[in-house]
Structure 1
Amino acid sequence: MANVLCRYCRQKQLGFEDFVHCGALDIKDKSTSQSTTHHEYPAENAVDGSVETFSQTDNDGTDSNPWWQLDLGGEFWLGRITVTICRISPCAAYFNGVTVRAGLSENYTENTECTSLVTSPSNGDVLELVCDPPALAQYISMDKDQATPSGGGTILRITEVSVFEYASEECASQSGS
């Protein structure tokens, strides 16, 4: 319930020091998409709450810039995004070289990079990707630019994503945090 209260407090952009952590967003039934889909690994697998499933773009070599996107269905101040890498090989290679973006545009290339390029993840990692400063966003995306040597080729595999929002001090006091 705190996330709902916090959402209504965000009327203007605030500086980073005015934000407090408000908690994880419920993204399980939010809309997802990806550039291509490999067999039975659709985009929504990355937000289904299970680390036993994953989303994956096609591996036929035709997708030179694979991407995955989540529509939050509204605007939120994002502070942190976590991504779980599956435990089996070659999962880490399929996430190496990824850029995480957050913003208000449905076109992922127009949104701000939330983190620098992800390099050298390991199988089973839970990556804590901090948006500093927090990003006002409706869309979160992850993409691989093949111009950047990354390993994993043209495949993007995502096991599970979690999104954490920030809110102003006023929101925190209203939610009882």
Structure 2
Amino acid sequence: MWMSGLLFVLLGMDFSFQTNPSSSENLALRGQAVQSSLYSNWVAARAIDTSPSTCSCTEVYTSNPWWRLDLLDSYYISRVIITNRRDCCPERLDGAEIHIGNSLENNGNNNSRCAVLYGVAAGQSVSVSCDNMKGRYVNVIIPGRNKILTICEVEVYLPDWKKTFVMMTFLSSVNMTDPAVSNMILNRLKTALTSKGLSNFTLTWTKLPQKVKPEIKLDDDDGKYVYTTQQK
């Protein structure tokens, strides 16, 4: 049994979901750096200036020296790359801990730990996986007394998310081919995804909503009506 003439309009929809910025972008370049103390003019920002020949450095022989990067937003972080100084004493970086999170408690050093560094040679870079930890702040701290923290470059990267295409079908009496309505749909989807904890993504139409012919078929097995659609 087929029924037609419903007041509802069914539309199909494709939209793309992709993280923004891209996974190839070094997020550290968007951020702001500070550190626990300062040696000479080796300011914290030198560790994010893309030049491994300039470095940040804390005062000599202090307790628990730290360096912190504020990404200005919370991201899922895939990996962090640290570059050691090239001129001398690379062992000073041994025991340095990388922490990631959204808290500024204890200057951000109480956030979850991603990794501990050992054996990074002079002038070399080490890439550590942080398993998509989420946070706004990336801290590097060396626990203990009489420590010096020197960092020549910090890079932060997102996971390599893939673009996702989703097709959805709506049952509605509203004309979703209207641009104002289609934009409203994207805004509501974004709000719903954000409420579930997702962030840093972009929703775009790959194909605007299309009308399809709605029909209902009676399921002979249980006597229930089942919606079916047919593209115009």
Length-normalised TM-score, structure 2: 0.58
Match of 1:161 among 148, 154, 159: 154
Q: Who is 1:81 aligned against?
A: 80
Gaps of 5+ in 2: 1-17, 167-201, 204-232
Tell me if 1:118 matches 2:117.
yes
**Alpha-carbon distance, 1:170 to partner:** 4.3
Q: Who is 1:16 aligned against?
A: none
% same residue: 23
Q: Which amino acid aligns with 1:128?
A: S
Structure with max Cα Rg: 2
Separation in 1, partners of 2:56, 2:126: 16
The total of aligned residue pairs comes to 149
Q: Which amino acid aligns with 1:137?
A: G
Separation in 1, partners of 2:30, 2:161: 26
Q: Who is 1:102 aligned against?
A: 100
Pairs within 5 Å for 1:139-158: 139-146=137-144, 153-158=146-151
Q: Secondary structure at the match of 1:28?
A: helix
Separation in 1, partners of 2:54, 2:155: 14
Q: Secondary structure at the match of 2:141?
A: strand
Q: Which amino acid aligns with 2:156?
A: V
Q: Deviations over 1:79-121 (max 9, x none)?
A: 100011122211x122111000111112323211011x21222
Pairs within 5 Å for 1:59-74: 59=60, 61=61, 63-74=62-73
The 1:6–1:172 alpha-carbon spacing in structure 2 relative to 1, beyond 3 Å, is farther
Contact 2:27 2:71 in 1 (8 A): no
Separation in 2, partners of 1:172, 1:26: 25
The 1:167–1:122 alpha-carbon spacing in structure 2 relative to 1, beyond 3 Å, is closer
Separation in 1, partners of 2:103, 2:48: 20
Q: Which amino acid aligns with 2:121?
A: S
**Alpha-carbon distance, 1:128 to partner:** 0.5
Q: Who is 1:27 aligned against?
A: 28
Q: Who is 1:135 aligned against?
A: 133
Contact 1:84 1:159 in 2 (8 A): yes
**Alpha-carbon distance, 1:41 to partner:** 0.2
**Alpha-carbon distance, 1:168 to partner:** 4.5
Q: Secondary structure at the match of 1:24?
A: coil
Q: Secondary structure at the match of 1:114?
A: strand
Contact 2:30 2:71 in 1 (8 A): no
Contact 1:77 1:167 in 2 (8 A): no
Q: Deviations over 1:54-81 (max 9, x none)?
A: 000001x3x2110000000001110100
**Alpha-carbon distance, 1:171 to partner:** 6.2
Detail structure 1 runs of 4+ shifted over 3 Å in the superposition.
167-175
Q: Who is 1:12 aligned against?
A: none
The 1:171–1:109 alpha-carbon spacing in structure 2 relative to 1, beyond 3 Å, is farther
Separation in 1, partners of 2:78, 2:46: 23
